[in-house]
Chains A and B, each alone.
Chain A
Amino acid sequence: MNTLADLRGKVSGKIPQYNVRDAGARWWAGLPRWARVVLIAAVIGFFFVLPSLTIPLIDTPTPWASVLFSPIALYVLAALGLNIVVGYAGLLDLGYVAFYAIGAYTIAVLTSAHGSLSFWVALPFAVAAAMFAGLLLGTPTLRLRGDYLAIVTLGFGEIIRITANNIEWLGGPRGITNIPRPSDIGPLHFEGLNAKPYYYVGLTFIMLVILMVRAFERSRVGRAWTAIREDEDAAELMGVPTFKFKLWAFAMGAGIGGLSGALFASYQTVITPNNFTLQFSILFLAAVVLGGAGNIPGVILGAVLVAYLPERFRGLGGQRVFWYGVALVAMMVFRPQGIWPSRRRAAELADPEAGEVLAAVTEADVERIEEELEDVSLPAHELEGHHDG
């Protein structure tokens, strides 16, 4: 094990400023399994009671529970979806709001304007429509290189908004009204004055999405995304079907964006094309990059900040957006890797030259190799403590 320990030492030695985080990760990995389950349950439980709490300083001028759902939970969902595209696959999407809009409009059309489906029946259609739009946009454009993709996606976002604005069937500039609220599930009764049920639904979807994204991240698909992000040509040469995986990332990101948009539509009950301007694409992107592209907790933190801060500081009035812009610049100047970056990204930034080496061998890989080696000699249950990083 000496060589692996050396390698680990080298890897963490290259990232001196992340000692606190590494210590946290080690502490977490050292906990017995029951303690980790209890802690996770406690955190989830905390998020479920959060809308009922009034926390001084944190509280917002508008009702806290509704802020928690819209914008916070909706932004977290959208940012998790965009993170697949930007954070994992490294594709710059400046028109992500298009998928959010497609999800919202699908719900609106199927439940109000041209149909009377229930929200829960229409929801899969909304996600599917957004994914389909992702495939439709991705198929011709994903062969383009980075910055070209950025402008094409930006254009796509604008096309979707303007099309919705111009087509009478979609309500034109007036949008679609009278979108019914979701029907009750169990004790959850959806109504305008109480955002809690929406928040619970949003939280549940967020957890499901996290589980799904984590599963993908740690699979062949996730490794392919990383390879594409680091060096697309090299990945292609190594036999990664880059186009296919980029399309996958695009479609999955789009589907999650559609989900977020669908929830938004049913919560608002009215949507207009102006709900889906380029500004939102930028906000979602800011959430991903601010938090730390490619790292789920970071992205969630970024989305919470991007959604929460403007609500908290509504009192500042006209200067709010100005300070928001200044904060974005300051954040990027002082912490370009984001508040809570992925280990790999942090390593690359800490030492640009080592980055290339570390991209190949990171702590996660070391652990995986360790596991594989230990699997040979030790019974599996003794290794439980070493799996999570």
Chain B
Amino acid sequence: MLATSFVHPDWGLLHDQFWALTVGGLTAGSIYALVALGYTMVYGVLRLINFANSEIFMIGTFGALFATKWLGIAPGADAIHTGFYLVLIMGVCLIVAMAFSGTAAVALERVAYRPLRKRGATRLAALISAIGASLAIQEFVAFRRGRNFEAFPRVANRDVLFTFFGAEIRTDQVFVIVGALVMMVLLDQFVNRTRLGRGIRAVAQDSETATLMGVNIDRVVMLTFLLGGIMAGSAGLLFVFFFEVTKYNIGFIIGIKAFTAAVLGGIGNLRGALLGGLVLGLIENYGSALWGTQWKDPIAFLVLVLVLMVRPTGLLGEALGKARA
């Protein structure tokens, strides 16, 4: 019954499992954060909710799956590799997943966004176009791959790496968290240190002035989608590596979570996406320990509303190009 479970949260479970819940939350959270980057970058540059980013992520999971098929790895005990081969397999999967997602993201921009941008359409129209693209991509994949879960082979053993206050930390969890962090640091450096990154920040700050200064907006927008897609692709690999399944509509729930994470951290803010993702993952895990897993999603959204009431632009505020009202 609702009343009893809400009046009596299970503090004991939270206390006993605290570190395990924390690591679990960070693992899920780092995947949210990677996908959130796709939303936050596009929002920062175009002020537009890239609703189809969830599908870009889903395509990335399939990219990784296809890569294992091409390498001749099928689900089963002999899929497990170690050392150099493991690194090679993961590298190929990563590149293929990124290529799939990056291509899809750029194609998406060309087909569903650019024509609207050229016509000066409202952002609402762009949102509907994105929703349409999202449905079409999902159905296309469902048409080609069916509507059931497909298994991703377990390519690495899930050994306990170390024990932390009684919580067993496994290699796969560490891999996901570290992998996501590396990708995000790379992106952050790219945006903040390189010439192309400067173009992105310039357009995010003031697209008209950027045009006057000789920045090619179309190229910047394409690059933004490409980077968002690459991040979503790497998230796709981490997702199938960790959860070991995917299907045509897997992006939906991750997409909503990632968008929530982006808003929570401050949409348009790269570091905000990281913080938002991790915080969201933690809240979900602690919340479901306290009140039961069936309340996981409502708790996450409730926290989002509460945070936005106190900080209306998210935890770190909006800023891809730095302070912008």
Contact = CB atoms under 8 A, between A and B. Distances in A.
18 contacts: A144-B308, A151-B263, A155-B301, A155-B304, A155-B305, A158-B256, A159-B301, A162-B297, A166-B294, A289-B127, A290-B128, A321-B139, A322-B139, A324-B132, A326-B136, A328-B129, A329-B112, A329-B136
Given A336-B116, A352-B120, A289 B125 contact: yes
Nearest to B43: A147
Main secondary structure of the interface of A (DSSP, over half): helix
B91 interface: no
Given A166-B294, A333-B115, 12 more contacts: A140-B305, A147-B43, A148-B267, A159-B302, A168-B1, A322-B140, A325-B139, A328-B129, A328-B133, A332-B132, A336-B125, A336-B126
B323 interface: no
Interface string A131-161: 0000000001101110110111011101100
Nearest to B114: A333
B124 interface: yes
Interface of B: 1-2, 43, 47, 49, 111-112, 115-116, 119-122, 124-129, 131-140, 142-143, 256, 259-260, 263, 267, 294-295, 297-298, 300-302, 304-305, 308-309, 312-313
A165 interface: yes
Given A140-B305, A148-B263, A166-B295, A337 B132 contact: no
Contact of B298 (A162, A278, A322, A331): A162
Contacts of B1: 168
Given A151-B260, A162-B298, A166-B295, A328 B128 contact: yes
Given A141-B305, A143-B312, A148-B263, A325 B134 contact: yes
Nearest to B314: A148
A150 B139 contact: no
Nearest to A351: B120
A331 to B, nearest CB: 8
Contacts of A321: 135, 138-139
A336 B302 CA distance: 34
B272 to A, nearest CB: 13
A351 B309 CA distance: 37
A318 B129 CA distance: 21
Contacts, number: 145
Given A144-B308, A154-B256, A319-B139, A285 B298 contact: no
Main secondary structure of the interface of B (DSSP, over half): helix
A349 B121 contact: yes
Given A147-B43, A158-B301, A162-B298, A322 B2 contact: no
Nearest to B133: A329
A332 B135 contact: no
Nearest to B263: A151
Interface of A: 86, 92, 140-141, 143-145, 147-148, 150-152, 154-156, 158-159, 162-163, 165-169, 278, 282, 285-286, 289-290, 293, 318-319, 321-322, 324-333, 336-338, 349, 352
A325 B137 CA distance: 8
A328 B135 contact: yes
Nearest to A95: B301
B309 A140 contact: yes
A147 B267 contact: yes
A163 B302 CA distance: 12
A376 B126 CA distance: 46
Contacts of A86: 124
A50 B127 CA distance: 34
Contact of B124 (A92, A145, A278, A352): A92
